[in-house]
Amino acid sequence: MKTGFDPRMVRQDFPFFSSREQPYHYLDNAATAQMHAAAFEAMHRHDLENRANVMRGNHRLAERATTAYESARQVVARFINAAHASEIVFTGGTTAAINLVAASLGSQWKPGDEVVVSQAEHHSNLLPWQALQARGIVLRVLPLQVDGCLETEALATLIGPRCKLVAVTHASNVTGAVTDVAAVVAAARQVGAWVLLDGAQRVQHGPLDVQALGCDFYAFSGHKCFGPSGIGVLWGQAAWLDRMPPFLRGGGMVGRVEPDQADWAPAPRRFEAGTPPITQAVGLAAVLEALMQWDWDAVHAHEAALQQLLLQGLQALPGLRLLGPVDGTARLPLASFSLAELHPHDLCQVLDGQGVAVRGGHHCAQPLMAHFGVEASVRASLACYNDRSDVDALLAGLVHAREVLA
């Protein structure tokens, strides 16, 4: 049963806010969201009562740890509506998940095979594919519309018969624009190509349905969705994971090992070499369980209202340039912008002095910055626990910063 969502009460589930003596307006959620109390409690309890390694132990602690770890896999599968828990691979984060797919699939491709990415990608969904060029893999780049959204109409001509995979963001970490996944998947299927979605930004905004999305791979990070850092998830269709060779090699991902050869364990174990992030998996599962009890229609309505306040407030400031779509259609509640001739880093420092945390820089998306003709921007990103006071503090802080820095 859904327990509902009350924006006035949700901060009680995030210890960060009760630990502050003075109000602090945290608007850097696209980089790292604050951690839910359920994750803290679950990790503490696990390490206190069941700390042991998984898979290969015969004592009771090892059995409990293994059960907790595999139970976490099942929770993640439910959160994203995977067909089976065996499709869930635990990694170190989104970056590690994408590198896994790139290295594994890339080892099977031939010179002249193609990968399509977009100019809007975070570096984590660009550099692993760039590396394959050394093996003769061709990288093709999907252009952008003026507002930074993917030019999906160009897919028909960009995706050719040698295309093996299309790797794009589910939602931009700079503009907040949500990708038209259906258009991407349809174009890829015309030539039998696979689709990988970088879901790092989308995941904190509610449960997903990877089967409905129609993609083949989905990657996200725990620290983006109110969970611990140091853990990520790669979901892949079982049929594809079973055909992929491992990326890392070591203990726990093999069947039998001889001096000169080894047999790989079935997925997902073949992709989880060494000791996995056990405690982090337990913490991630706990917070995802909590999130699945929320009334996400109410959450989305709350975030949409804050987004409207943010966009309207920013656009009302003289000299401010908003990067990305100017309305709230098909976008997440975040905004990147520049203000007159003021450097983003200077703006961030002044805002921090006013108790407002935002991020300044190229946001690991330099090709997208180049599209907008800027080196860097300020980014304010909202989450479920933000409220109107956070938006008001940001807008007031920007007025103050312009007075101080002008």
Amino acid 392: pLDDT: 98
Amino acid 1: pLDDT: 37
Catalytic residue at 215? no
User: CATH 3.90.1150.10 spans which residues of the chain?
Assistant: 10-30+295-405
Rounded to two decimals, what is the model's pTM?
Answer: 0.96
Length of the chain: 406
Superfamily name with CATH number, domain 10-30+295-405 = Aspartate Aminotransferase, domain 1 (3.90.1150.10)
User: CATH 3.40.640.10 spans which residues of the chain?
Assistant: 40-291
Mean pLDDT by 10 residues, the chain (406 residues): 64 90 91 98 97 90 95 98 98 98 98 98 98 98 97 96 98 97 98 98 96 98 98 97 94 90 94 96 98 94 95 96 88 95 96 97 98 97 96 97 90
Among the four given CATH numbers 3.40.50.920, 3.40.980.10, 3.50.50.60, 3.40.640.10, the one describing domain 40-291: 3.40.640.10
Q: Which of 149, 163, 225, 364 is catalytic?
A: 364
Supply φ then ψ for residue 256, to 5 degrees.
Answer: -125, 140
Strand pairing class (334-339; 217-221): unpaired
User: DSSP H helical segments within 214-329, as ranges?
Assistant: 238-241, 278-291, 296-315
Amino acid 345: pLDDT: 97
Amino acid 2: pLDDT: 52
- DSSP characters for 41-86? HHHHHHHHH-----SS--SHHHHHHHHHHHHHHHHHHHHHT-S-GG
